Amino acid sequence: MSFNKLESESIEIIREAVAEAVNPVMLYSIGKDSSVMLHLARKAFYPATPPFPLLHVDTTWKFRDMYIHREKVVAESGMTLITYTNTDGQTAGVTPFTHGSSYYTDVMKTEALKQALDLHSFDVVFGGARRDEEKSRAKERIFSFRSGGHRWDPKMQRPELWNLYNTRIRSGESLRVFPLSNWTEHDIWEYIHKERIPIVPLYLAKERPVVLRGGIWIMVDDERLPLEPGETPQMRVVRFRTLGCYPLTGAIESSAATLEDIIAETFKARVSERQGRLIDSDQPGSMEKKKQEGYF
């Protein structure tokens, strides 16, 4: 499959956003979509280094492999990495176990992101969201306007015609820019394969310690995961279709240990990749609500 068109469109979007931005930043979540987005950014500005930093909003609950991967990739890219943790939430002891996934996500991800953006006064923020992921994302613009307070109003979106993006904002307002809007999960994997983009090993199947909770395999990544009565970690061959905070991210039983296996599996998949994400389904229309409040 030829990626010229998809890739060129994404590069055009990234260049356009940077040309008009005062202080741009790229959200880097260490996952497969972030990896592709970063790769495209480096292509867009080659031979220069992309003229913006990476921002990782760190909940401190990511998989250990993700932190190792992050350091490697950042060093290789030559870009600056900013990490940000909502220390108020941390001090208050907000964890995925104590406060429920919805409140935890709000404090440690959405709030944290807003605090980080305000702290650095970023006006253009790249995110790796795709329109095929979720229903409300299917309606979001490529250049998505946020009012002061980072709010998204789905009914007040600027019309987006052709490849013309309205980048005009006032101080305090910002733009979220999604260069991967028109990519599908399948495109992402094929592109990673074709371009040999490094990814976190958790995407590939391997024997890992897991417990079954509410029908979902949760990996026991470190000693912080409180085991419920009767729960004993067992070794299973699993992998992850998406990566987030390990206590909230379900693994799938799969023996796909290579990229070729993953591509074959993805094309035959009967469940969506976000099915393993607990935060999407914790309340009706939950992604739309989280997005309005500033979640990516």
Partner 1 sequence: MTTIHSPLRFITCGSVDDGKSTLIGRLLHESKSIFDDQLAALESDSRQHGTQGEDIDFALLVDGLQAEREQGITIDVAYRFFATEKRRFIVADTPGHEQYTRNMATGASTADLAIILVDARKGILTQTCRHSRIVSMMGIRHIVLAINKMDLVSFSESLFENIAADFKKFASKLGFLTIQAIPLSALDGDNVVVSGHRSPWYHGSTLLTYLEDIDISETETTGSFRMPVQSVNRPNSDFRGFCGRIAQGYIQPGDSIRILPSGQTSRIKQIVVWQGELEYAESGDSVTLTFADEVDVSRGDMIVSSAQPAQVADQFEARLLWMSSHPLMPGRTYLLKLHSKEVIATVTSIKYLEDVNSGAHLAAKSLNLNEIGVVNISLRQQIAFEPYSVNRVLGGFILIDRLTFDTVGAGMIDFALRRATNIHWQALEINRDLRARLNNQTPRCIWFTGLSGSGKSTIANLLDKRLHADGRHTYILDGDNVRHGLNRDLGFTEADRVENIRRVAEVAKLMVDAGLIVMVSFISPYASERRMARELFVEGEFIEVFVDTPLEECERRDAKGLYAKARRGELKNFTGIDSSYEPPEKPEVHLRSEIDSPETCMERILAAVSFSC
The residue ranges that bind partner 1 (CB under 8 A) are: 1-2, 4-5, 7-9, 11-12, 15-16, 18-19, 42-49, 131-132, 135-136, 138-139, 154-155, 157-164, 166, 168-170, 181-182, 184, 186, 267, 269-272, 275, 284-285, 288
Collect all residues with Cβ–Cβ distance below 8 Å to 155 and sequence separation of at least 6. none
Instruction: Output the smallest distance, CB 159 to partner 1, in A.
Output: 5
Q: What amino acid is encoded at 171 in this protein?
A: S
CB closer to partner 1 out of 149 and 285: 285
Residue 95 contacts residue 87 (beta carbons within 8 Å): no
Write down the least CB distance from residue 104 to partner 1, Å. 22
Report, in Å, the least distance between residue 164 CB and partner 1: 5
Dihedral angle sign, alpha carbons of residues 53, 54, 58, 61: negative
Write down the least CB distance from residue 176 to partner 1, Å. 16
- Between 170 and 207, CB nearer to partner 1: 170
Maximum distance among all alpha carbons in the chain? 57
Neighbours of 36 (CB within 10 A): 25
Token pair for residue 165? Answer: 């993006």
Residue with smaller CB distance to partner 1, 39 or 56: 39
Q: 6 or 220, CB closer to partner 1?
A: 6
CA angle 176, 56, 45 (to 5 degrees): 65
Residue closer to partner 1, measured from CB, 1 or 232: 1
H helix intervals, 46-198: 64-77, 87-91, 100-105, 112-120, 185-195
CB of 79 to partner 1, least distance (A): 14
